[in-house]
Structure 1
């Protein structure tokens, strides 16, 4: 008799199908959970920078580059245009005040000087002729006055004599009247002659004064012309080093053209270019620091140039205290200019995270140090080393400060 065999409920094929179904269901659940929760990213700990939030002294500062310049620079411009005829020194020479540098020639200017000199000499000759004429005219007037005075004296003598003779009936009344008329006539002539002499003296003095003034003006014009011709020889205005000399024999220079400059070597200053964003926060008296040969030095802003060129403005800074030994004109210095007073603040070291987050959030590590989550933060001022934390972090917290190039959509970092 046959024995019926019991059919197996879990065959090998059913077991495989069941196992596959379970794995598929688990995968689907994992995907659903992963997509519904925060996105994660596994990162190697060695590939990121982890920094600690600290409490410390903070001072807002900006890094700038400055160029060392002489404390004073005197520019040499062509006062008068002309052709370069002679160079007495070369670029870089040490100059004494008044020493000649180069000589220009200007035929028109030199001809004008000759004409001006001729005009002065002609005016002087005319003035001398006028003075002689006035002197001769005065002499003639005085001679006429003397004649009139003599005639008056004679007329007075005759009149007085005739009065005595008439009183003695020696002459007739007609003779007395005639002598009296002559006497009165000569008195009137005397008064008129005196007025003429006085007016002539006044007119002569006025003419001489005007001629003298005209002569002085012409002489002044001549001196100015001589000075202009003298300016064709360019001389050092102060002691110093001649630099940037731009003149060659035969070259033509126009009036006002830059020829070179004299650097006064009694000290140095630093010319600094600063981004226009800070123009409202830069003023005279602010300080900056830099290192030179391992030693720190301090500079102070003395002058602010408010003109903005290519998005930057310039300031002049002078050394406070010692000037570094061996510093040279044209040398570049890296300077930290302080924008605020020193204060206590919560600090984050500067890093690449700021470019992607704008300082609005950062990855903060959990206490176990294996995961990091997004943390909203608020940053304040900054300097060359730190950001000031206004809100969101506390001293002792650890954060990821390296770049976040691939972390825009990531909510959690898993550190391996």
Structure 2
């Protein structure tokens, strides 16, 4: 006899035939779909924000300057501010130290070469020179005494030789006696020549020690005065005089300078960016009183100080009339010929980015996004675009100091100036 298994009872039916309530789902399982939706929306929003520029800065239009990229001729030159300088400058230095006794010429006066300008006083030096003079005089007396003795011996021997020659011809003396006298005469003759030559050399050395004159023709008696008198080294204008009565000046101190009065050059400090591109001989253009002139690079000083290096320029032809030392002149140093290129207007942005990136205005004109670019040569007006920009695009060319870490700039038209 087979046993039939009872049919399974319904989960909603109890043993007494009544319905049973279903178990409720956990809270986290009921809200999971909404959490997934919100997280997905956040991720998508962050992705969209990143795609549109990441860090965003709102800036009033009144704080921004724009420039339009274009194609045109690029003039390769460096615009610098130069000044008129004297062509030649000679400095007044002290050969000997001392106190300023007299100032004979005022600052700014025209002077002639050799004209005394400043007189110093140095008692110790004057005593030293006096002692050297005494020694010199004693040596000179000794030389004159020695030379007189030599001359006396030569005169005596010359007379003896003349007498003994007659005796020798008459066989009254031996030939060896006459030969001995002849040798002694030759010795004193050579001694006289050597003494005179030694004296001339000694005079030159002592004169150089006392006066600095190697010719030996200097006035040794006035050596101390000359060493303490500062004279103009050339014709010109005395400037930057640094000497007042009573001041103490050390040996080698600079008391001023004499500038060539009517001969000028131009001098300028150029940004170190152009170091290596500015070379001797390059043409330079400038204007004074609405007249155009030309000059050329005469000397480049490679030492960089404060981000600039010094350059000198000589005028082509006669210098402009009426110029004076210290006058400012705007120069255009021609670095190369003109060539066609894609150009962006120059501005403060270049110093902030180094030409590596810019903010480009979006097509709707409401914002600007950061873009990496490659910029090349630049002059005062334009920067050459090597890569990253096309003609017609608009770029922010004002300073980027506030935007260094931004990826997008939104223009605030509400705060714009009317």
| Structure 1 partner of 2:65 | 49
CA distance in 2, matches of 1:78, 1:210: 38
Helix, strand or coil at the partner of 2:297: strand
Query: What is the DSSP-based 3-state SS (H/G/I as helix, E as strand, rest coil) of the residue aligned with 1:103?
Result: strand
Query: Partners in 1 of 2:279 and 2:112 — Cα distance?
Result: 36
Partner of 1:136: 156
- Decide whether aligned partners of structure 1 residues 361 and 204 sit closer, same or farther in structure 2, where only a CA change above 3 A counts: closer
Question: What do residues 109-130 of structure 1 show as CA deviations (whole Å, max 9, x unaligned)?
Answer: 2432343233223312321222
Q: Which stretch shifts more, 129-138 or 216-225?
A: 216-225
Normalising by the residue count of structure 2, what TM-score does the alignment of the two structures yield?
Answer: 0.72
- Name the structure 1 match of 2:46: 35
Match of 2:232? 236
Does residue 94 in structure 1 map to residue 110 in structure 2?
Answer: yes
Contact 1:98 1:238 survives alignment (8 Å): yes
Which range moved further: 226-235 or 94-103? 226-235
- For 1:119, the equivalent position in structure 2 comes to 139
CA separation in 2, counterparts of 1:90 and 1:358? 50
Deviations 1:232-258 (A, max 9, x none): 333222211112222333444444332
Q: Deviations over 1:157-202 (max 9, x none)?
A: xxxxxxxxxxxxxxxxxxxxxxxxxxxxx5xx44213312331231
- State the Cα distance separating 1:208 from its structure 2 match: 1.0
The answer for the alignment partner of 1:264 in structure 2 is: 260
Among 191, 197, 201, the alignment partner of 2:185 is: 201
Q: Deviations over 1:272-306 (max 9, x none)?
A: 23455543333211234445445554432111233
Q: Does 1:344 align with 2:364?
A: no
Compared CA separation, residues 95 and 388, structure 1 to 2 (3 A): same
- For structure 1, the residue ranges without an aligned partner over 5 or more in a row are 1-25, 153-185
**Contact 2:72/2:341 (8 A) holds in 1:** yes
Number of matched pairs: 355
The structure-2 alpha-carbon separation of the partners of 1:332 and 1:111, relative to structure 1 and needing over 3 Å to count, comes to: farther
SS at structure 2 position matched to 1:396: coil
- What secondary structure is seen at the aligned counterpart in 1 of 2:203? helix
RMSD: 3.4
Q: Taking structure 1 as reference, are residues 89 and 121 closer, same or farther at Cα in structure 2, changes over 3 Å only?
A: farther
| Paired residues of 1:274 and 1:313 also in contact (CA < 8 A) | yes
Q: What are structure 2's unaligned runs of at least 5 residues?
A: 1-36, 213-222, 414-418
Q: Judge which range, 323-332 or 380-389, deviates more.
A: 323-332
Query: Is the partner of 1:281 in helix, strand or coil?
Result: coil
